[in-house]
Structure 1
């Protein structure tokens, strides 16, 4: 049970899951529409008799039309949410000074507040990689157990990975968060920390 000062999403699972699924659907459709527009543009320029369109124009269009796949955009949304949420969760606790204290906070208090359940975390002594395992992660819990939906499940972990990365960024830790699934609904989040020089 989380402390009283820690907000929890336990009572709001259905609205969040519905919203999360709609966000994923939106970004997948937007990405497909951008790919279609890009293909149409490139085809029209290829067939154009007016050869005034320069290759640099095509490169600029490609850059903006294909800027980020759905997973990247959803992860960016999660980053902003995690960055803001960690301030609410950490406001009543003493200042976290070490990297280990910050990681323990993320894996215990923040995880419970953000994802509504506990996890098991491994804190290796001399490495920059922490592994957080959640045995029934809520964004993929509704998918059938087993391995048949592993490919489809990956996009459902982009937002939570962004939430963790954003929370760590607000605590002063640059990281890369990589979720992995071997069997649903067990999810491992590999948190690679960037050491500051």
Structure 2
């Protein structure tokens, strides 16, 4: 996926460029919209927020903790897409997603170097202008 889709683009300079590509181009290709917010601690942790995650669009009418619990399995496939795209572009990472309020979803990406160093996402996460 990464090779053909990114063939006509200049090479990425760093991991942040790859994450921006994922948030803009790949997310638009897969979910027909860009990620709403990208934050990073600049140590290999990236938090992507989609305030209107398309797979949850039909679930959003039901507001309850049970709806949020039932929505969690719908995040597994997008996590796999993100992890696979990153791997195809040479970045090994873990991807975790959660939702606390439908139809929003938050994806946390930790590159292997940052996961090994034990970097956390919550403290010191800064916004990134794309």
The verdict on a shared fold, with TM-score over 0.5 as the criterion, is yes
Query: In structure 2, do the counterparts of structure 1 residues 89 and 178 end up closer, same or farther at CA, with 3 Å as the change threshold?
Result: same
Q: Secondary structure, in 3 states, of the residue corresponding to 1:159?
A: helix
Which of the two has higher C-alpha Rg? 1
RMSD after superposition: 1.9
Q: Which residue of 2 aligns with 1:120?
A: 36
Alignment size in residue pairs: 113
**TM-score when normalising by structure 2:** 0.78
**TM-score when normalising by structure 1:** 0.53
On the 8 A contact 1:108/1:118 being kept in 2, the answer is yes
The correspondence of residues 79-158 of structure 1 with structure 2, limited to 5 A, is 85-145=1-61, 146-147=63-64, 148-158=66-76
The correspondence of residues 13-92 of structure 1 with structure 2, limited to 5 A, is 85-92=1-8
Q: Which residue of 1 aligns with 2:81?
A: 163
For 1:69-120, what per-residue CA distance to the aligned partner results, in whole angstroms no more than 9, with x for missing partners?
xxxxxxxxxxxxxxxx222321211111311111111111111112211222
Structure with the bigger percentage of helix: 1
Runs of 4+ that moved beyond 3 A: none
How far, CA to CA, are the matches of 1:115 and 1:88 in structure 2? 18
Higher-RCO chain (CA-CA 8 Å, sequence separation at least 6):
2
How far, CA to CA, are the matches of 1:185 and 1:160 in structure 2? 14
Please list every run of 5 or more consecutive structure 2 residues that lacks an aligned counterpart in the other structure: 117-130
How far, CA to CA, are the matches of 2:93 and 2:26 in structure 1? 16
Query: In structure 2, do the counterparts of structure 1 residues 178 and 125 end up closer, same or farther at CA, with 3 Å as the change threshold?
Result: closer
